Every structure is written in C-alpha cells, then in structure tokens.
C-alpha cells in the first residue's frame, strides 16, 4: 500500500513540476479572453510551418488586443466546435472568418464587419462540372455548421445533389481532390486564395452575395470585449495597420511566395525525418499535454475508482447500491458523449465555464474510475471468503480485517487490471481532442490540416503513442514486481 502511495505521489510531483515549468506567466493587470477559431482557413487562420497560428484574423485579434490592452488565448478547435463552445459560454469570442447571418444574430453579437466574402463552388482541375446544373446525382462536400453548408443544403433539392459533411476545410478539399465528391462549397475569399496558392482546385461559380465576416461573442455577454474589438478595429483601419495586414496575406507577393513554398513542399515531398524536424516543437508540446492528462487522470481515476470500489464491498446496502449505480452510469456512457456533456452541456446549464483541461480530467476520472471501481470490487470478491470469516472469528473488526487480510491479497489480484487501465487511460486521452485540448491527436490533426501528409503524420503519432505506452507498461511492471516482492 505504501508503495502505491509513493508511486501516486511521484506522479503528482511530476505533474506539479510540469505545470510550474509549463504555465506561461500572465500579467495580472491585463484580462485574458479565450478566443475560439478554425483549425485551417487560410488566409484568415492557419498554422504556419512553425505551427504558430497566423493569418488575417489572428493578426487582427492580436493587434486589437495589443491596442486595447487585453490578452488573448487562441484555441484552434475547428469552426463548428468554436461556435458550440461560444454558445455554451466556454469561450469568450470567435474569430474564424465567421459570416454574419440573420440566423446567427439571434444567438451571437457581431462586431463591425471586417471582410467581405461570398460562397463559391470549387471542383477538381479536370472536372467536367461547370455549373450548379451539372451537380445532378452527385456528391458535394461541405464543412459542418458553416454558411457554405447552409447554402449547399438550401439548393441541393433544386439541383439534385447530396451533401457530405467534414469538420475541417482541408478534409472538404481532399474529398474533391480524391474524386469522392464532385464539388465543394466554401467561402470565396478562402477558395480564391487557395487557387492562387496552389490548392489544386478551380472555382467555377461567382460568389453569392452572402455577407461579411465579423468577430462574435455570445448574445448580450462580453460587451466589454466587443466594444474593445470594435474600437481597436477602428484604430487599425485609421492608422493603416488593417490594410497592411490584408496586404500581407492577400497581396500579390504574399500569394506568389506562398505558392512557391507550397509547390516546393509538394515537389520535395516530405520525408518522415523532415516532417518530425519541421514539427518538432508542436509534437513535443502535444506529447507533453498527453502525458500531463494521463498522469493527472490516472491519479484521480485511481483514487475515485478505489473509493467507489471499496464502497461496493461495505456491509451497508446503501453504500453498495451507490457504488453499483456510479459504475453503471459512467461505464455505460461513451467517453465522447461524457466529454461533450461536461465541456459543452454542463456550462450551458450552469452558465459557468469548465476549462477544457479540467473537463478532460473529470471525464477520464469518471469513466476510467468506474472501470477501476469494478475491478477493485471484483479483486476483493476474488479473495477466498474464508479469509474474512477467519479474520473476523479471530476478533478483528470489519475495517481491520479488510485492511490487514483482504486488501493485501486483493491488490495482488488487481495489479494487472490497474496496469491495463493505465494504458487505456493514456489511449483515451486522444478522445479529448474533440473538446479542443491540444494533445497529441489534436496536434496531428492540425499538422495534417497544413501539410496534408495524413499517412506519414498519423504513422508518426501512432509510433509516439506506442513508445509512451511501452514506457508506461515497463514502469507499471517494475512497480508490480516491487509490490510482489
């Protein structure tokens, strides 16, 4: 038992160290706003070759923050996830080439428009689809929750096509390039930029007249932030910085040098080593986040699971019933549903934010803890009942018999299950990419959104998981040997 406590303390120490080392120092005087954005939507938001978020929207919000004296914490979680998080109050604002529409105005407040863009249709360079009429019986790719998707759905019956939805623009474009979809609908400002910079698609329709981009906050909330945004934008327009930013990303020289860089990357191809070198810091941060999530979740889930498991072997019926119910609920719920419920569902109800990392830890603690509780109960039940009877007949009370006789034997039975559960917890952290935690899987998604090297990046990410799992297994086996000594 002491050894287990020592191990848990070591893990906790490691976590504290990682946190102290990793947390950025924030100036207490300046307020930090959490801003959600898309994963990839160039030239408005995208990760550059150093995996830093750049683009018109990123420069605008950062320059406005500087001008108005606030700080921003950018969360590249994807357009739909950002909008969902904004409506549940999890983030303070969204800047992601977000089109101002009447429907959205019912839920969000928008800033003064900062860019005009309609929707266009793009197809593969050799496609014979030239207009909407050619879409009959075909499949068309769109991005979840966007104005492009709304537009496509509004005309699909008239033109007789079906839509298929993806979460990120790069997946939408890839589906057209692969020939799975005949066309896609997306914003003109983004697709025209893509055509200029070598995306490998051509635009075949004129932009619809669907509006402009605005910065959004939840309706009636964050008024102060909205006022700061509008006043900052006005200043940037007046001092010429706004024009500079637009030119920096959409000007002739900007697009041609971006095209050259894209062509170069395409012709050179990316080697495994080259990709690792290029994305080293992002991958390392992803690993760091994954390990942090794993360590904290293992500690919390083990404590929670052992407590619930022990509750299940107490003589009290109420305690046993509570244990069974907790295990039933949290083992029964899919992890993904639980994560979304805690991150998006609960805040919509309570009105208070749950940071993504905390939501992730709670999710894993409840789910992994329920499994732990089940095998803790099972491990105790597997100890010969005669042992308890013998201990009790020697005059030991229930608690002491449990501690001195049953648990030492039960723990030995449980150890392989603990090791198994630790490994499962590590793997399950990847599901938390859905709530935008920048762990290893989400890091992979972002890198691929930029370089479209799906096969190679997922191979690298898979190998990293296997390496961490091997280290975790070896560590657990070592502890197991020491406990069994």
Give the residues lining the site for ligand ASN (CB under 6 A). Answer: 38, 41, 79, 96-99, 143, 146-147, 187
Q: How far is the CB of 99 from ligand ASN (least distance, A)?
A: 3
E-state strands within 209-333: 212-213, 216-218
Shortest gap between Cβ of 240 and ligand ASN (angstroms)?
26
Count of residues for the chain?
A: 485
In the complex, least distance from residue 444 CB atom to ligand ASN, rounded to whole angstroms: 20
| Residue 433 · residue 286 · CB < 8 Å | no
Alpha-carbon span 97 to 113, nearest angstrom = 10
Measured from the CB atom, the residue of 187 and 218 that comes closer to ligand ASN is: 187
Give the residue from 141, 224, 148, 233 showing the smallest Cα distance to 187.
Answer: 148
DSSP, collapsed to helix, strand or coil, labels residue 292 as: helix
Q: How far is the CB of 34 from ligand ASN (least distance, A)?
A: 17
CB nearer to ligand ASN: pick between 144 and 241: 144
Q: How far is the CB of 225 from ligand ASN (least distance, A)?
A: 19
Find the shortest distance in angstroms from Cβ 175 to ligand ASN. 15
Query: Helices 280-311 & 440-451, crossing angle to 10 degrees?
Result: 150
Residue number, 33 or 44, with CB nearest to ligand ASN = 44
Give the nearer residue to ligand ASN in terms of CB position, either 15 or 41: 41
Give the β-pairing of 32-37 and 71-76.
parallel
Non-local CB neighbours of 472 within 8 Å, separated by 6+ positions:
294, 422, 423, 426
- Name the minimum Å distance from CB 269 to ligand ASN: 29
Report how far apart, in Å, the C-alpha atoms of 126 and of each of 61, 122, 254, 361, 459 are: 39, 11, 27, 49, 31
Nearer to ligand ASN, 117 or 258 (CB): 117
292/450 with CB nearer ligand ASN: 450
157 by Cβ neighbours in 10 Å (0-12 / 13-18 / 19+) ranks as exposed
Identity of the residue, 46 or 242, whose beta carbon is nearer to ligand ASN in the bound complex? 46
């Amino acid at each position: 038992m002491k050894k287990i406590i020592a191990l848990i303390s070591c893990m906790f120490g490691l976590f504290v160290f990682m946190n102290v080392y990793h947390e950025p120092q924030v100036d207490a005087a300046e307020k930090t706003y959490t801003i959600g954005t898309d994963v990839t939507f160039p030239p408005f938001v995208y990760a550059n070759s150093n995996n830093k978020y750049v683009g018109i929207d990123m420069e605008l919000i950062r320059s406005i923050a500087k001008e108005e004296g606030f700080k921003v914490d950018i969360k590249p979680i994807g357009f739909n996830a950002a909008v969902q998080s904004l409506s549940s109050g999890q983030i303070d604002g969204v800047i992601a080439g977000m089109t101002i529409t009447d429907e959205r105005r019912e839920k969000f407040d928008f800033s003064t428009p900062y860019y005009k863009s309609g929707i266009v249709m793009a197809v593969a360079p050799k496609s014979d689809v030239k207009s909407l009429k050619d879409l009959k019986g075909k499949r068309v790719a769109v991005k979840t929750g966007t104005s492009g998707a709304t537009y496509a759905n509004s005309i699909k019956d008239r033109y007789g096509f079906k839509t298929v939805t993806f979460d990120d623009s790069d997946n939408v474009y890839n589906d057209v390039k692969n020939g799975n979809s005949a066309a896609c609908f997306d914003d003109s400002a983004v697709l025209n930029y893509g055509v200029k910079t070598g995306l490998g698609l051509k635009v075949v329709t004129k932009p619809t007249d669907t509006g402009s981009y605005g910065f959004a906050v939840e309706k009636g909330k964050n008024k102060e932030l909205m006022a700061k945004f509008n006043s900052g934008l006005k200043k940037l327009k007046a001092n010429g910085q706004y024009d500079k930013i637009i030119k920096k990303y959409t000007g002739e020289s900007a697009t041609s040098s971006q095209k050259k860089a894209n062509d170069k990357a395409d012709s050179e191809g990316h080697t495994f080593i080259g990709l690792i070198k290029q994305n080293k810091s992002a991958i390392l941060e992803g690993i760091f986040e994954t390990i942090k999530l794993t360590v904290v979740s293992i500690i919390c889930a083990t404590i929670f699971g052992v407590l619930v498991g022990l509750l299940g072997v107490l003589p009290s019926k109420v305690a046993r019933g509570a244990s069974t119910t907790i295990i039933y609920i949290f083992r029964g719920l899919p992890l993904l549903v639980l994560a979304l419920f805690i991150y998006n569902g609960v805040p919509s109800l309570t009105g208070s934010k749950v940071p993504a990392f905390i939501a992730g830890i709670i999710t894993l603690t409840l789910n992994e803890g329920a499994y732990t509780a089940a095998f803790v109960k099972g491990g105790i039940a597997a100890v010969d009942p005669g042992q308890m009877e013998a201990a009790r007949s020697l005059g030991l009370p229930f608690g002491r018999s449990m501690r001195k006789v049953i648990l030492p034997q039960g723990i030995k039975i449980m150890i392989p299950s603990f090791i198994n559960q630790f490994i499962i917890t590590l793997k399950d952290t990847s599901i938390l990419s859905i709530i935008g935690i920048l762990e290893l899987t989400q890091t992979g998604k972002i890198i691929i959104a930029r370089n479209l090297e799906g096969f190679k990046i997922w191979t690298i990410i898979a190998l990293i998981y296997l390496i961490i799992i091997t280290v975790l297994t070896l560590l657990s086996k070592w502890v197991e040997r020491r406990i069994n000594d």
